[in-house]
Amino acid sequence: MNIQINHKQEIPDSYLNISYYLNKYLHELPEPPLDPKTKQPIGPDALARLFPQELIRQEVTLEEFVPIPEEVQELYKMYRPTPLLRARRLEKVLGTPARIYFKYEGVSPVGSHKLNTALAQAYYNKKEGVRMLTTETGAGQWGSALALACKLFDMKCKVFMVKSSYAQKPYRKTVMHLYGAEVTASPSRETKSGTAFLLKDSKTTGSLGMAISEAVEVAATTEGAHYALGSVLNHVLLHQTIIGQEAKLQLMKEDVVPDVVIGCCGGGSNLAGISFPFLADKLSGKRNALRVVAVEPKACPSLTCGEYRYDSGDSAGMTPLMKMYTVGSDFVPPAIHAGGLRYHGDSPLISFLYHKKLIEAAAFSQQQCFRAAEIFAQAEGIIPAPESSHAIAQVISEAARAKKEGKRTVILFNLSGHGLLDLGAYEEFLQGGLYT
């Protein structure tokens, strides 16, 4: 099944805000970010040097819906709505009675879901007169998305790419360069924070926490520059809810509702995008039995092995402290190929939902994930991004459970990007490597 929806009528015209439902039905919200020096709740003025006022407002709003600007809606029409597909061949290969559906975000111009928030962030910054955006990127999906968004809005883009992925994924650098961005391997000697990281360990593979420190430092010290983040913060997760809203409409056309919703999870935007519109129903009492599963790498298991506490969002301690599940802001994960999931913490919203047992978490090894991706590619023909392969590993586990129990479980997952620029990793896997 390939369900498509009408562009004019059914691309969402608003983002859905999960904080509205938490406030209304749970009567509780995640604890606020703190100033790293005073340990007091941080105010909007402290964020104004890095973010435009509208994004700061979206970070704390309790409105149920946030309207999508018309200019952003027009740009979404380049690739939205994205298709919802039923993985019938995968179901047959697995011999499961489960019905497996996936939302395929790999059809976006940059090959992943990251463009959903990149376009919105670039738009709001441009409106405020910002001339350059700085950011970090793990595998390069977010960096590619922001590079294109900046080009579309005639802005400069500076990307600090985690050193391990900078070496592993050369063509993601090419994509960013093609879109006009400047790309630097992180940690670098271009910043004080990067220099300090290298003095501590000159052979470090880098981390998202380090790259965030460098990007924030450049934004804070460059006139006309702001910082953009590809995950973690409330406004980023908010923008991604167009994924789940579309999926909900597409499934309704077939009178189908999911029993379990699955997404890979590093910072949380992928999982939030597919799951929050469905979690809204759970919070309001419409879908009490719904399960949502966040899937992370065993190499960086913040939800499954981390502590729920305040921690810095970056490795140099420049960002506000956030209440989240974390393995420590100084943690440097192994150089796995799912670079977008190599983050030491999780979104405060995702962490709060997990702490309240409203969502579940699972972790898989790199080998398990690439094996799952191989099964999926051979059945459905789509080569998944290494990040998305984590969701597929959990899908296969859920399908086996349905087979054992004899249930026609409806499984929905977010295939958030293709892996056509990750073929080096797949070649290594096929040759018997990737045991991390």
Distances (CA, A) of 146 to 87, 117, 163, 335, 422: 30, 9, 18, 23, 19
Give the pLDDT confidence score for residue 209 in this predicted structure.
Answer: 87
CA gap 124, 339 in Å, rounded: 27
How many whole angstroms separate alpha carbon 86 and alpha carbon 96? 13
Percent of the chain at pLDDT above 90?
83
Domain positions in the chain? 73-112+236-430
pLDDT exceeds 80 at position 365: yes
- Amino acid 186 reads S
435: confidence class by pLDDT, cuts 50, 70, 90 = low
pLDDT value for 418: 95
Contact 233, 314 (CB under 8 A): no
Q: How confident is the model at residue 9 (pLDDT cuts 50, 70, 90)?
A: low
How many residues are listed for the chain in this entry? 436
pLDDT at 296 over 60: yes
Name the residue with tokens 């435009």.
52
Given phi > 0 = left and psi -120 to 50 = alpha, else beta, which region is 3?
beta
Asked whether residue 3 carries a pLDDT value surpassing 60, the answer given is no
Rounded to two decimals, the pTM is 0.94
| CATH architecture observed for domain 73-112+236-430 | 3-Layer(aba) Sandwich (3.40)
CA-to-CA distance for 207 and 244, rounded, in angstroms? 29
Reported as a single tens digit per residue, the pLDDT across 342-355 is 888 999 999 999 99
Distance CA 163, CA 185 (A): 5
Average pLDDT over residues 265-290: 94
CB 280 within 8 A of CB 244: no
Q: So what's the pLDDT on residue 6?
A: 44
> What's the rounded mean pLDDT across residues 253-273?
95
Cβ atoms < 10 Å from Cβ of 274? 32
| 305 pLDDT more than 70 | yes
**Confidence at residue 25, expressed as pLDDT on a 0 to 100 scale:** 97
Q: Are strands 260-264 and 410-415 parallel, antiparallel or unpaired?
A: parallel
- Over the stretch 367-420, which tens digit does the pLDDT of each residue have? 999 999 999 999 999 999 999 999 999 999 999 999 999 999 999 999 999 999
Would you say residue 128 has pLDDT above 50?
yes
**DSSP H helical segments within 48-186, as ranges?**
53-60, 70-76, 88-94, 115-127, 141-152, 163-168, 170-178
DSSP calls for 223-241: TTEEE--SSSSHHHHHHHT
d(CA 134, CA 226): 6
pLDDT (average), residues 38-49: 87
> Model confidence over 136-178: pLDDT tens digits?
998 899 999 999 999 999 999 999 999 988 988 899 999 999 9
As a whole-number percent, the residues of the chain with pLDDT over 70 amount to: 97
Spell 12-50 as b/e; 16+ CB within 10 A means b: beebbbbbbbbeeeeeeebeebbebeeeeebeeeebeeb
Q: What is the CA angle 310-347-53, rounded to 5? A: 95
Span 22-26, average pLDDT: 97
The span from the CA of 216 to the CA of 50, in Å, is: 8
pLDDT mean over 217-245? 95
Residue of 350 and 9 predicted with greater confidence: 350
Report whether pLDDT(4) > 50. no
pLDDT in the model for residue 329: 85
